[in-house]
Amino acid sequence: MRFMIIVKATKDSEAGLMPSAELLRDMGKFNQDLVDAGIFVAGDGLQASSKGARVAFSGQDRAVTMDLVAGYWIWNVKSIDEAIEWVERCPNPMPGPSDIEIRQVFEAEDFT
């Protein structure tokens, strides 16, 4: 099963505050642990929403708004429980309080 692990943006990440050297080191170690466990598929940090956009659809109408996601991983794990266990091991991705959302990715067989 693939899951998207979504790191929610904070005021600091939206302000462009870069992570500390310690946090970068800790996240690098965590990412290597994911690779070593064979579950890491992809992952990146994202620039502040001021450097991006979200296009909302309503019938034929379109509206451009901002989205507040700071980064993500794609993991290939056996269950949501395993994804939760890995997130619980993750260093706090932000200097203060933060949230990480876990969402299962649709697979082709889900549509049959």
Domain ranges of the chain: 2-107
What pTM did the predictor assign? 0.78
Query: What CATH number is given for 2-107 in this structure?
Result: 3.30.70.1060
Contacts of 84 (CB under 8 A, 6+ apart): 102
- Residue 9 has a CB neighbour count (10 Å cut-off) of 21
| pLDDT > 70: percent of the chain | 97
pLDDT in tens, 38-51: 999 999 988 888 88
CA distance 49 to 72: 14
User: What does the pLDDT look like over 34-83, one tens digit per residue?
Assistant: 999 999 999 998 888 888 877 788 898 888 766 578 899 999 999 999 99
Residues 6+ apart with CB under 8 A from 97: 10
